[in-house]
Amino acid sequence: MRYCLLNALGIGAFGTVYRARERNTNRVFAVKVLVRREEPWDVALALAYRGEGEILPKLNHSHIIRCFYSHGWGTPRVEIVLTLMDGTLSSLAESPILPRPLLAKHALHQMLQALDYLSQLGYVHRDVKPDNIFYTILPPSRSGPQQPKHHHHHPSTATTNNSNSTMLLPPPPPPPLHFRLGDFGLCEHEAFIEPGEVRGTMLYMAPELFDEDPGRRGRPRPWQRQTHKSDVWALYVTVLWVLDLDGIWRVARRGECSSEGVGFTFTRNLAARVVVDEERVGALREMARVDPWDRVAAGEVLRGLFGGYGGGGGVPGGWVEELE
């Protein structure tokens, strides 16, 4: 695959993402260039190779970034050719083109599909957050609901683990935005994640990943593995971030979630929020369970809130109004 790098789109700790054009077809892509800079390179490269060199190329889902080609592994310069997107959910939330509740609803619906797909394959992303959720603005002819073709879900009458009533909500209108989950540098199969091995971004880490028993405050917990339930928690916090509930932007910008103790207290507060304020975020309460055994899986939320991938049926009102 021959291509030329154009303008830089973003800069990270170990590399830069460029817009690129394939020479023969003029198709445009994003190319992530990893360049050796410091000692942590070996660790970062090993994680990147596992996540983006081995796992990502195997994945095929409409809400996950595609990896078309990569080369240079084992050298000081690695290039990874990816789907080109318009930006991140993080940048979009700061200058939203949709009302925040509607933006959160679309992002949640599409990311649940991505996480459900990953969990069925046994993978844990381990770094779900607004910076790693990418969007593209769809042309009018393509703005209908995105329907994955590779697997199906049961009808919309399913319920969550912790509720005897169906949490069914009307399907969102045709989205003008298409979201994809990206940055698989920390992704791993659950079978290969060791107890106590914690990767990710502090603000979005689930309670079970901190050094305190989630069910008994002050009591050390046994080491737990990151699982797909950790990704569900991270998506829950991402939705709150888009809505800016609990001053999450302030927390993120001031680094108030910089230690495990502060982080655990913060996550407990997030969980408590849905108990006392269910009128605004009650639809997400099953994602906010402190104990991962009680927390719902992505597919359960998807069926409970949206009736599967494309919806069908529902109750009067809607999730958007519930969050406003």
Q: Residues annotated as binding site for ATP?
A: 32
- In angstroms, the CA 20 to CA 26 distance is 9
Helix (H) or strand (E) holding 40: none
Which of 117, 122, 182 has the alpha carbon at shortest distance from 146? 117
Q: Is residue 68 classed as helix, strand or coil in its secondary structure?
A: strand
Q: Are 181 and 133 in contact (CB under 8 A)?
A: yes
33: which DSSP letter? E
Helix-, strand-, coil-residue percentages of the chain, each rounded to 5:
40, 15, 45
Burial of residue 300 (CB within 10 Å: 0-12, 13-18, 19+) is: buried
Q: Are 257 and 205 in contact (CB under 8 A)?
A: no
Which of 145, 60, 130, 121 has the alpha carbon at shortest distance from 299? 121
Q: Are 20 and 4 in contact (CB under 8 A)?
A: yes
Measuring CA to CA, how many Å separate 108 from each of 59, 87, 192?
Answer: 20, 17, 27
Q: Are 124 and 190 in contact (CB under 8 A)?
A: yes
Numbered residues of the known binding site? 32
- In angstroms, the CA 155 to CA 167 distance is 13
Q: Is residue 204 classed as helix, strand or coil in its secondary structure?
A: helix
- Rounded to 5 degrees, what are φ and ψ at 3? -150, 165
